[in-house]
Structure 1
Amino acid sequence: MECFLEYAATDKGLHFTDALAQNAIEVEAIDIPLAQFSGSHPVIKGISLMAKQALDFDVFIFNKAGCSDAALRPGAYLDYVRFNATGAAQIGAAGFYYYAGVTGLYLPYRDKSNTYKLHVGLVNRSATSKLAGADGEVVIMVALA
């Protein structure tokens, strides 16, 4: 039996703070919990997302820094997950939108930049732009085993 050992999460005040037009990407590097995975390579088991705006998002996972359409590196792309606004829910009709998490993944992860970071890209797929700063906050959580 396998269990989740840790979650790696973005910081809403530091990560994904740019405005994003439709199909634009912002890539961030988030810390992998060293206490749990020192000397080993985690497996991505699930991804969840919360956002201030109800937009369609793709979350891309790369295993190298500096990945985007402009600097695509062979072997750097691992996978992506789509989060649709129609499936997002608010609690009490206010605050963040909570998107149904994607579980059952099995993505062995090794940071080829040797920074022990998880390289995550957020793409806005909606015609409405993702806002910058606090008005467009997004938090991505990655379950690691």
Structure 2
Amino acid sequence: MNMRFFLYLILLVIFSSCCDTHVEVTYEYEDVVIKRVDECGISTFYYGEISNNSPRVWATYSGINDGFSGYLVFGENQKVMILSGDGYFQSENIDSDKLEYNRISYEDVALGKGVYYIMLATNVEKERNVNTVSGVKVDYMD
């Protein structure tokens, strides 16, 4: 009985420790704002404000070799597309005039004006976008 309790305690510590993460990132391009919130196992991209009513797309993940990567593409008429070939994405309250998600092949996208590389590991995301001319202003709040 003690061994079972010990294993339960260890599993509880392991699973609760991953949920201590909370990262917020703000991407802004020509008066359009996408807010990203990373919490244990989920990254949510909100169009505008963080709200239950905002158009949003989220990626869920678990494990060491899981996550997401892709691109934010700020287009005309304040529309943003989230393009990804990696990750399990879902959406809610989508207004296709403002926010869309599409799966892509990575060869289809090039970094440039209004295009920003995104991924679960924000430190790699920062490095990948350092010398681009995207014009996207990003604020990483850990």
Assess same fold via TM > 0.5.
no
- Between the two structures, name the one with larger relative contact order (CA 8 Å, sep ≥ 6): 1
Specify the structure having the higher radius of gyration (Cα). Answer: 2
TM-score w.r.t. length of structure 2: 0.25
Counting helix residues as a fraction of each chain, which structure ranks higher?
Answer: 2
